Every structure is written in C-alpha cells, then in structure tokens.
Chain A
Amino acid sequence: MKVALFLSVLFCGNATAMPQPKIESQTRWRPMAAVSQRTANGLRVAVLRQTDLPIVHLVGLVTAGSDCDPEDKPGLANAVAEMLEEGGAASYTRSTLTEALADLGGDLDVEVDQNGVRLTLSTTARHFDRALELMAALMTRPRFEGEEWTREREALISELLKERAEPERIADEVFDRVIFGDGHPYAHSPDGTEAGLRAINVADLRAFYSTHYGPRTTTLLLVGDAPRDAALRVERAFADWKSNAVPAAPPRAATPGAARLVIVDRPGATQSELRIGHVGVASSTSDYAALQLLKTVLGGSFTSRLNQNLRERHGYTYGAHARFKLFRAPGSFDASAAVRTDVTAPAVREILSELEGILKGPTREELRKGRSLLIDQLVETFGHGLLSAQFLGKLLLADLPVDHWQKALDDLDALDVAKTTLSAQRLFFPDRLVIVVVGDRKKIEKSLRALPMVKTVEFRDANGELTR
C-alpha cells in the first residue's frame, strides 16, 4: 500500500524546470541620514524619523562603558547604568519610577559594553513627551539610594551566576580575558565579577556618575514616530543638565599574547563551544569596509566559508560564524561555533584552515556577494526602527560619525580583490590564534593536544581563572 501510493504520487509532480531568470541591476540606495545637532549645553541629539507605525525608540547613549571600570571594581559602569532606574531619580523612588515606565509600556532596556551605555525606552507615539521626561529624570538626576543598591547588588550577583551556566557566555568571557590579558579594561565582562560588585558602594556609584555622565558625554538618539520638533523638545528636557564630565580617552591597545589552547571543562556537555581568534582593530580602522566584507565572506552569511565547511560539508554544527568587535581601542576578532563533542578537534582544524585561507583574500564572486549582502543588511536595518536605533547607537558609541555608513558604502564600492587581500593581511594573524574550547575535557583533551598547531595548553574555570 505504501509503495503503491508512493508510485502514484511520483507521476503527478511532473515539473518542467524553469530557467533561472535574469537579474536586473539594482538602483543605488543611500542610507537615510540621521539629523544630528548639539544643544547649548553640549548634548548631542540625533533623530531618524520613520512614521509608518506609532512606535518610537528613545535611546540615551553615554560614553561611560566598562572601559571606564576601575581595575578593582569590574562591573561598576554597568552597576551605575542599572541604578539609573533601579535607584530612583528626581522625585521618583525606584518603585514610582518603574510604575511610571510601566504606564508607557515597559522598562528601560540597559546595555553596557566596552564603548559605553545604551538606555533604550520604546513606547507608543502618544507617550513621547512623558517618555522623554522620564528619560531626562533618570539620566540627569539619579538618586542612587543606598538600600536600593544593596538589593540591586545581590540581583546582579545572581544574574552572574545564572549566566555562568551558559556555554556561549563562558566561551566569550574566557576568550576576552585571555586575549586582552588581566588588567586590560577589555579583559573583563561588562557585568563584572562577584568580588568586584561586592567592592562597590554608593559613593563609588556617585563618583563614577559625576566623572562620566554629562551632556558632553551623552547623545540622545530618537528613532521612529517622534514629533517633528523632537530635537527642540529634547533640548528643553535636558536644558538644566550641567556637568564637567568629558569622554574618557580610549584604553591603550592590548599587547597581543602568545598562541595557545584554553580548555574550560564542562563535564557531560554534548557540544563544545569554540572561540578562535585574537586582538583585532579599533573602530576607527581605515580597513572598516574591507573588514566588514571579509567578515561576511568568512563567517557572516549562510554561504560563508566557515558555515559551508563546518555545517554543510561536515555536519559538525548548526552554524559557524566570524565576528569583529569594534571598540575605540583595538577590539577582537573571533570565529565561533558550537560543535558536536566527538568532532571537536576536527572542527578546530577546519576553522584554522579557513583562517589560513582568508589571508589569500576573497574571490571576485565573494567580493561581489559580500558587497551585496552588506548593502542589503543595511537597507533592512534602516527599515526596522529598533534595529536602526541599535545600529546607530553602536556606531555613535564607537566614536564613529552619524553618517559613517555613507562613507563606508563608498569605500565598499572602491574595494577590489587586491585591496581586500592586503586588508586581510592586516586583520588576520593565524600565528597568534587563541583557541578557547568549552566542553567535556575528558572526551576532547587528547585529540585537541594531538593537533599539530597546538603548542601550549592551559585550563581555566568558568570564571576564567587558571586551574590544573
């Protein structure tokens, strides 16, 4: 019965394959420019209006990121940013402030990285003025209530414990610690450590705030259905804010360390989480366009070299990726994948061979593909309010101009295989690779040690501390 049914259905599919259609050329698109200006007290306001849906995103950007953390208090920048809402502001207690925000439809979304702080408040258009008022209150007049800090500190420590169970995070954090080296501001996670958080008191929060928060370190970015005179309204809401805070200088560049293999034991793990890379370049790099292109070719799309090799050719993983983190000082480059435990060593070998290969640059087809994909991703980003807010916010905190992508698109046009290959040689250093593997040590150590390129092996725990 099954066979008969099977045969009969085969006949009704009888399709004639259609020829591939011709693809016409696409008209050139320029990203819309955000309008940017400074108010009298030095605050920068950037506006990108899109009015198709009644939603607006207010984003406060402050150059007060984890690169400003004191060495003995990792997590301070994040604690200060969290406490803007969690510690009350102006006439609001923590409780009345969260209530006021809830009336607008949600909470403040707080993100802190090595470049700075992003505070995002998304609300419906009719609540714009109220949202702006609350944003101004918590950014310019935070209270840093002591009792609230005692509570929030414990909450942040619990969050650290929760995240310590996530193999992706362990791999990312151990990788950063190893490549930047203890003591460098980029070596620790912006979330800090339990000891660091315990060392922070309210006076530290206040001091950090007054050093790093002020109109001259802040941008207010508005994306979506904002009123036409939004910039003026921002100026009014922040007019009384006075501060001597100026943007901190970027950290020194990290000294590249020696190549090595780092194993973090996770007994029973069915997959090994891999990070393979080294210290990268600063956001101001003149290779910006080539870097984006090479990242796309190597591990930034489905047909990228890493994904084709590890997923489609070998079936080792659900996905393999490449990434550059661009900070004001040199950041990082890494290739990543979560691979089945029993193929950990072969997967590492394949990644290393792709990293050797990328030094020879892209093919002409890859160059063309990378360029098309980057342009389309940009178009899609600008079609999506929250995504464009995040994208522009990150650019601005990386100290790049508001029209950065206009220039990057021109640079992308000007790239050819030879130029991109030269950039590749400035961006990738296969002799300096740090290989971090989070997985079941007793099942992977022997085969990893046997890889010819592995000379030094060290073991660390989930916090990045050296172990035996």
Chain B
Amino acid sequence: MRILATLLALGVAPAVQPAVVRAEPFQVQVERYLLPNGLVVILHPDHRLPNIVTELSYRVGSRDERPGRTGFAHLFEHLMFMGTEAVPNGKFDSIMEAEGGQNNGATSEDRTYYFESGPSNLLETFLWLEADRLSTLPDGMNKAKLDLQRDVVKNERRQSYENRPYAKMELVLPEKLYPLGHPYHHPVIGSHRDLSAARVSDVTAFFHTFYVPSNAVLIVAGDFDTARAKTLIEHYFGWMKQVPEPTHVEIPTPPPLSKTEIVTLTDAVELPKVTFAFLSPAWFAPDDAECELLAALLGGGKFSRLYQRLVYERKIAESVEVEQRAMQGSGIFLISAIARKDKTAADLETAITEEVERLRTAPPTDREIERARAFLDVEHLREIESMIGLTEAIAQFDFRFGDPSRVPELLSRYQKIGAPAVATVALRVLSKPHLIFRVVPR
C-alpha cells in the first residue's frame, strides 16, 4: 500500500493521421471541465460493472523538493492518510473499507496521485474524503504522525531498495545521470538522513503550496450518473478558494555526460548484472516513441535482438531487459542483463556493446518494427485493462496535454513510425557517453 512508483511514459506523438489505419480502434469517452477555483474535473462513465474509481492527481513530485528534504513528496503522500479533524487517523481507510472501498497513492518525480476504488454507492464518500483532506489536512498534523510515517517510509526504502537484489542501483542512477541541483538528481524515495530531517512545518508549507485545487485534477470513472456527480463535485470542491497554481520548477535538459563511467556495486546476489543507462527523451518529446520501439526491438520478448543474442546464441545471460523510462522533463534508456551461472559482467558488457554497435551495420527492419508495435500494443492494452489503469492513463494524458481523450494514442502513435526513424534515433541516443553499472556478488 502507498506505493512508490516511477511513472512510465504513456505517450503520444503529435496528432498526425496514421498512415495505415489498423483494425483496433477504441475510444475513451471523457468529459473535462474546470471549476472556478482551478480544479480540473474529468468524468469517464462506464456502466458495465457497479463500481467506481476516483483519482486526485497533484502536479507535484520529487522534482519539487528542497535541498536537504529528498523523499519529502513521497513522505507527504503517506501523511495524506494520517487523518484530519473530521476524519481522524485511521478513519480514512476504515470508513471506506467498511463498505468495500480501497485506496492507495503513488509518488513519482513529477506527480503524486491518490485513488479510491469501490462499489458505486461510495462515490459521495470518496469525494467527501478527498475534499476533506485537501482542505483541512494541516489542522491535525503533528510530530507523532510524521514520525510514524517516517518509519514506514524508511521500511519501504529497506524493502524496495536496500534489501532487494539488484535494486540499490536505482538509488545511485539519478545522482550519476543528472547533475547536482537538477530536479531529477535524487531518487524519489530520498535518503534516510533527509527523511529524518523533515519537520511538521515542512509538511504545512508543502501542503499550502502544492495541495491546492488549481494544482490538481479530479477524475471519476465507472458507474455513476453524470449530473449527480457534477452536483456532488460542486458541493465538495466548488467552495474551496482559488489559490494561484504554484510555479513548477523548470526541468532543464541535462547536460550530456562528459565520458562513459563504470559504477561497480556489490550486493547479496549470486549472478552479476550489468545495466547501461543513457539519457533519452522526455514523455512524448520528439524521439520518445522511437525509443519505445527501440526498447521493444532490443529487449521486448524472446525474439528481441538482445534476448536472441545473449540468452539463446551466446548463452551468457539469464535474462535481458530494455526500458525507455520517460519522465516529464527527461528520460533514461536502460539496457540490462543478468549473467548466467559462471558468466561475468565483462561478458555481458562486451555483448551488449556489440549489439548496440550492430544497430549501425544491421539497422532495424520493417518486420522488426512491426513486431515491436505488436509487442507495445499488447503492453499498453494490458495497462489500461483495469479501471484503475485506465484512470491513471487519463490522468497522465491530462497532465501532459490537457486532453484525456487522447488515450488511444498510446497505441496509435507507433503506427506512422518506420524503421529508418528508429535507426536514426537509436544512433542518436545510444552513441552518447553513458553509465555502466556492474552489480557483482559480495
């Protein structure tokens, strides 16, 4: 619960008619409007099942943290569940669970979101609970609540990064890739020291800056009556005063690395792992879709280039993984492999370097791109199969474009991209200085 997630790119390229119209059209019906106080409201009715999802998405993430307070946006997310005067600590969960509702929250570099999911008779309850904490949270905040969630978050850090095989790299990666002072320089989970340093006054100040209607989007999806939902939303959120939207930090384009650097980490593992990390395009920035296709072509499934070469032919890898991890202001292209028994990090590095080189001599073919598209189609459809997944996609499209009806572009944006474009982007992104992480057994 209260998960920490790096939100991956859900992307769209500029709206150009696809060159080939394919057979899987689907639509996402949404109504979007603005309350006078600046709150964006998005309604997505779907009456197939008697349940609803509500989500409040705030434009704040780890990028907005002050020096010495890394991890604070996520710690704050935990505190949003610690009660108010009307809904004392513990009641937020117990009120909704008593009727079958559940909730969670997640924090990324750019955004923090909270969602509830449950039977449709809880619509008003969910709206009331979200409105209550958005308007009154600091009134009941105290050091005891902060201390308890500080402990929980530190446990989350231990469970998800420190005590999990190969995961420590995630703590070092942003610090190595983005320069000191860059909003993405530190990991979302933060450091133990900074978590220890957080004070109640930080909580209050953060709340009043970022947790205001003009910095939020409310999404309601599922089995509800639109007119009634609008009345309820007006009742619970409409009275809130307009507070100017906070200024968001600019995300500067990170400078290229001056040289390729090797970082060696030891871990309680038996098999070495190697990860190549390159700076890459941001969410739906030019070249992002090409990078997604490139990732699928290199590492999406057993017929991908790296899996074929490293796992089947050379038999040096246990597994490979390639990911275009796109954030709002920048992206990270990751190629990683875990060694087979008795193989070394050096074996993997050599082979990965050769495969990256081979993109030059044997550029992607149309057939490979067609397969990469098929892979991404299934991936994205799986993401939005659940109501919660679809709601999150709506939130991301609104965050990026202010237009949630563009969700189907998750799939359609790949249709017009051909093999030459992917080849060009591959050379552009993968020929730059990068990081090589070696995780080796202790």
Chain A interface residues toward B at CB < 8 A: 2, 5-6, 9-10, 12-13, 15, 17-21, 23-27, 29, 52-55, 94-95, 98-99, 101-107, 122-127, 151, 154-155, 157-159, 161-162, 164-167, 266, 268-271, 301-303, 307-308, 311-312, 315-319, 338-340, 365, 368-369, 372-373, 375-377, 379-380, 382-387
Contact = CB atoms under 8 A, between A and B. Distances in A.
18 contacts: A6-B201, A6-B205, A9-B205, A12-B241, A15-B240, A54-B24, A102-B375, A157-B341, A158-B339, A158-B341, A270-B158, A270-B162, A301-B97, A302-B103, A373-B97, A376-B119, A377-B102, A384-B387
Given A124-B381, A379-B50, A271 B155 contact: yes
A107 B302 contact: yes
B415 to A, nearest CB: 13
B251 interface: no
B386 A379 contact: no
Contacts, number: 269
Interface of B: 1, 22-24, 26, 46, 48-51, 84-87, 90, 93-95, 97-103, 117-122, 124-125, 128, 131-132, 135-136, 138-139, 147-148, 151-152, 154-156, 158-160, 162-166, 201, 204-205, 208-209, 236, 240-241, 243, 267-271, 300-304, 311-312, 315, 318-319, 338-341, 370-371, 374-375, 377-379, 381-382, 384-387
B383 to A, nearest CB: 10
B205 to A, nearest CB: 6
Nearest to B91: A20
B315 A154 contact: yes
A385 B385 contact: yes
B374 A386 contact: no
A231 B121 CA distance: 37
B152 A162 contact: no
Contact of B120 (A26, A52, A95, A126): A26
6 nearest A-B pairs in the assembled complex, by CB-CB distance: A372-B100, A315-B151, A102-B303, A376-B100, A15-B135, A105-B378
A155 B311 contact: yes
Nearest to A24: B121
B208 A302 contact: no
Given A17-B86, A161-B341, A340-B158, A303 B271 contact: no
A162 B338 contact: yes
A102 B49 contact: no
Contacts of A23: 99, 121-122, 124-125
B50 A26 contact: yes
A54 B341 contact: no
Given A18-B131, A158-B340, 11 more contacts: A6-B201, A26-B119, A105-B377, A126-B22, A165-B269, A271-B158, A315-B155, A339-B155, A369-B97, A369-B100, A379-B49
Contacts of B128: 18, 20-21
Nearest to A50: B48
A153 to B, nearest CB: 11
A94 to B, nearest CB: 8
Contacts of A373: 97, 100, 102
A125 B267 CA distance: 43
Contacts of A15: 135-136, 139, 240
B204 A52 contact: no
Contact of B378 (A27, A123, A269): A123
B26 A9 contact: no
Contacts of A318: 152, 155-156, 158-160
B379 to A, nearest CB: 8
Nearest to A376: B100
Given A6-B205, A55-B385, A315 B26 contact: no
A386 B155 contact: no
A121 to B, nearest CB: 10
Given A55-B382, A373-B97, A126 B303 contact: no
Nearest to A122: B378
A9 B208 contact: yes
Contacts of A312: 90, 148, 152
Contacts of B151: 315-316, 340
A410 to B, nearest CB: 17
Contact of A383 (B84, B241, B386): B386
B371 A9 contact: no
A303 B50 CA distance: 23
B153 to A, nearest CB: 8
A322 to B, nearest CB: 15
A205 to B, nearest CB: 19
Nearest to B387: A383
Given A162-B338, A372-B119, A106 B318 contact: no
A214 B382 CA distance: 30
A2 B148 CA distance: 25
A101 B128 CA distance: 48
B155 A13 contact: no
Contacts of A315: 147-148, 151-152, 155
A106 B125 contact: no
Contacts of B387: 380, 383-384
Contacts of A271: 155, 158-159, 162-163
Contacts of A104: 374, 378
Nearest to B120: A26
A318 B319 CA distance: 29
Contact of B118 (A52, A98, A99, A376): A376
Given A29-B50, A52-B26, A165-B269, A372 B85 contact: no
A339 B300 CA distance: 35
A18 B128 CA distance: 8
Contacts of B84: 17
Contacts of B99: 23, 26, 372
A217 B322 CA distance: 37
Nearest to A383: B49
Contacts of A52: 26, 46, 48
B386 A380 contact: yes
Nearest to B341: A158
Contacts of A369: 94, 97-98, 100
Contacts of B1: 302, 307, 319
A209 to B, nearest CB: 21
Contact of B374 (A98, A124, A161, A377): A124
B374 A376 contact: no
A102 B93 contact: no
A35 B268 CA distance: 48
B375 A20 contact: no
B90 A13 contact: no
A27 B50 CA distance: 8
A386 B100 CA distance: 22
Nearest to B119: A26
Contact of A164 (B86, B208, B270): B270
